[in-house]
């Protein structure tokens, strides 16, 4: 049986949480491998709605959750999230959740520098959540980060804080923001240590043992390919690699362990924050998609920008992300629309492009070239088999398969976990 990696194939918010939750019934472990608490997964289970940012979605299914070394962790946010879902009835303890001891921590100074920089950009804001994700990754690469294992060594914490404050206080002062005192940060880290360390371990060992024992591992990505720091719409991207290859490096496993790669895409397109969006709709149809799809960011609460399905972008995400099967979500949101548009290319300066350009100027200038497809009248909401779908809805799905050059493996027709059409079980490889 194959392992499975789930990644976003657009700009995030595609419904990965529901898909991971649905697949977790077939898995033994669920692993978060990149990102931070700027990601948000909403899971609807009966009357209960769980909003997760750091915790692996498999915990809702009672599966072992693992936060890998590729994740940057705000310990305050993690503990608050554990408390919130525990109050909802989930069992989150060191017996069900393990954290990589070599994962990087996010400190209050990281979010402070994040917000100060974004404010200084003025009209050129990137649209960051201001939660310190980027600055924490910067410290990781600069080799000055505080990691989970450091919480067990007070002297290490003290020495690393000296270096961090020398760097960040200089930047904060230059941006006109309040600086930080070492003692307050050190005292708080020492208070957090006994709360975080019981979860910590070299998770690569547990994952290697699980692999050798033939257990199924589900890798849960955050954000999406078009927000990848290398392959996305730079600089309007996240601060980590979101492609499937990161499932290996972000968890401590070899690339052969990643298994079958599922790319998640909505039946239309959304984006939160700033950045290019060729198929964005500013008319009543755009408002309708937002209202029907309840398009608000799980983490930020900001309304999502809505537009037609961009097959050029998803095809690129399929190629760069190593996607072997596509999951199409929120098909029901398109019910009743007389016509649908699919972007099949861009017009930039008189030339036709079949890929998303890397240069910011070209990205901003991209004008979509559309193919029109007839819509359907009958409802698709709650459909659980192809036989439940209108013929025109099936035609729409098949056309997307052709354009993005990847088979549709699952179709989601409502937020409910079981309203899913299974075409191929990804755990079968």
Cα three-residue angle 165-170-176, rounded to 5 degrees? 120
Residue 268 — left, alpha, or beta (φ > 0 → left; ψ -120 to 50 → alpha)? beta
Pairing of strands 339-348, 351-353: antiparallel
41 is catalytic: yes
Catalytic residue selected from 21, 28, 37, 41: 41
Nearest to 59 by CA among 34, 35, 95, 8: 95
Q: Rounded distance, CA 72 to CA 132, Å?
A: 9
| Residue in the block written with tokens 């039946």 | 267
Between CA 314 and CA 307 the distance in angstroms is 14
CA distance 43 to 163: 40
- Examine the residue annotation and report whether 21 is marked as an active-site residue of this protein: no
The C-alpha angle 256, 257, 261, rounded to 5 degrees, equals 90
| Positions marked active-site | 13, 41
């Amino acid at each position: 049986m194959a392992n499975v990696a789930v990644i976003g194939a657009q700009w995030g918010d595609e419904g990965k949480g529901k898909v991971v939750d649905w697949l977790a019934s077939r898995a033994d472990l669920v692993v978060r491998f990149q990102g931070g608490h700027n990601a948000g997964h909403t899971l609807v289970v009966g009357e209960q709605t769980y909003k997760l940012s750091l915790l692996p979605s498999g915990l809702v299914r009672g599966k072992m959750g693992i936060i890998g070394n590729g994740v940057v962790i705000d310990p305050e946010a993690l503990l608050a999230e554990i408390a919130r879902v525990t109050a909802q009835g989930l069992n989150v303890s060191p017996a069900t959740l393990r954290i990589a001891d070599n994962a990087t921590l996010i400190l209050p100074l990281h979010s402070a520098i994040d917000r100060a920089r974004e404010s200084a950009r003025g009209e050129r804001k990137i649209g960051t959540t201001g939660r310190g994700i980027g600055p924490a990754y910067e410290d990781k690469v600069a080799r000055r980060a505080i990691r989970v294992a450091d919480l067990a060594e007070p002297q290490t914490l003290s020495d690393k804080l000296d270096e961090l404050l020398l760097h960040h206080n200089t930047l904060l002062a230059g941006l006109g923001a309040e600086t930080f005192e070492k003692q307050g940060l050190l005292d708080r880290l020492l208070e957090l240590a006994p709360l975080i360390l019981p979860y910590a371990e070299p998770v690569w060992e547990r994952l290697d043992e699980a692999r050798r024992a033939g257990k199924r591992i589900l890798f849960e990505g955050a954000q999406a390919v078009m927000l990848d720091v290398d392959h996305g719409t730079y600089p309007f991207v996240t601060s980590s690699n979101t492609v499937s290859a990161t499932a290996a490096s972000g968890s401590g496993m070899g690339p052969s362990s990643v298994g079958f790669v599922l790319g998640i895409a909505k039946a239309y397109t959304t984006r939160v924050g700033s950045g290019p969006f060729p198929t964005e709709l500013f008319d009543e149809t755009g408002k309708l998609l937002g209202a029907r799809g309840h398009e608000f960011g799980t983490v930020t609460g900001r309304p999502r920008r809505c537009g037609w399905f961009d097959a050029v972008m998803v095809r690129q995400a399929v190629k760069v992300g190593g996607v072997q099967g596509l999951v199409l979500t929120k098909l029901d949101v398109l019910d009743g629309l007389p016509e649908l548009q699919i972007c099949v290319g861009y017009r930039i300066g008189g030339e036709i492009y079949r890929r998303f350009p890397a240069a910011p100027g070209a990205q901003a200038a991209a004008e979509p070239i559309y193919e029109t497809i007839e819509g359907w009248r009958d409802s698709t909401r709650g459909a659980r088999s192809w036989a439940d779908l209108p013929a025109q809805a099936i035609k729409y799905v098949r056309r997307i398969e052709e354009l993005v050059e990847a088979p549709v493996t699952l179709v989601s027709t409502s937020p409910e976990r079981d309203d899913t059409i299974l075409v191929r079980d990804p755990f079968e490889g």
